[in-house]
A and B are shown apart, each in its own frame.
Chain A
Amino acid sequence: SQTIHQWPATLVQPVGSPLSLECTVEGTSNPNLYWYRQAAGRGLQLLFYSVGIGQISSEVPQNLSASRPQDRQFILSSKKLLLSDSGFYLCAWTRLTGAYEQYFGPGTRLTVT
């Protein structure tokens, strides 16, 4: 069976500090991978998606970047955090069959102070 991991679970960082969030998927190969941010009352905002190693598409211009160094690893980064980067960050993967439903990781709660 497939499993998706995210770490860390929670993070408190000062403004201007760097960020690295990691997501890994087990039990599947060549998945599509997604990063979302969820703010209170605003729903899920798609930030980046990747259809393969080194292939990143950005949905929203912002202070963040993403990388996919390995098939089942997806990293969300920032060089300098802003207060507005606070939120709940979710990684998801798609099974490339059927209707392409997405499966989510447990999330990372980021607070920028």
Chain B
Amino acid sequence: EDQVTQSPEALRLQEGESSSLNCSYTVSGLRGLFWYRQDPGKGPEFLFTLYSAGEEKEKERLKATLTKKESFLHITAPKPEDSATYLCAVNSGGSNYKLTFGKGTLLTVNP
């Protein structure tokens, strides 16, 4: 059974203070690892897909990396508008294309 564990559960940063969120996963054959951003009261917004170990993706102040056991979402010089819950999910394939999600990291960036 696929498993995804995200840490920390909550992270509070000062504006400009860089940090990383962790997503550890156990899956029998990774097809893709996904990062989402979710604002309060809204649906998750797709950020990145990572396919294989060593891959990196960047978008503005966010950079996602992938190893064989975990993924990191690095946030460089965050701004208050980066405050959100960040969700990680994996897809191990199969005919129904179901994803397994972590519980998320609630990021708060103070001005």
Bound Cα distance A65, B89 (Å): 25
Chain B positions within 8 Å of A90 at CB level: 43-44
**Is B86 part of the binding interface, using a Cβ–Cβ cutoff of 8 Å?**
no
When C-beta atoms are compared, the residue in chain B nearest to A51 turns out to be B96
Known A32-B97, A49-B96, A107-B43; contact A42-B32, beta-carbon cutoff 8 A? no
Chain A positions within 8 Å of B34 at CB level: 99, 101-102
When C-beta atoms are compared, the residue in chain A nearest to B30 turns out to be A99
Kindly identify which residue among A43, A49, A107 contacts B98, using a CB–CB cutoff of 8 Å: A49
Bound Cα distance A6, B36 (Å): 19
Known A32-B96, A100-B32; contact A109-B41, beta-carbon cutoff 8 A? yes
Query: Are A101 and B43 in contact, with the CB atoms below 8 A?
Result: no
Query: Are B49 and A105 in contact, with the CB atoms below 8 A?
Result: no
Query: Are B51 and A99 in contact, with the CB atoms below 8 A?
Result: yes
Binds A, one of B11-19, B20-28, B68-76, B99-107: B99-107
The 7 closest A-B pairs by CB, nearest first: A99-B32, A104-B43, A43-B103, A100-B97, A44-B101, A107-B43, A104-B44
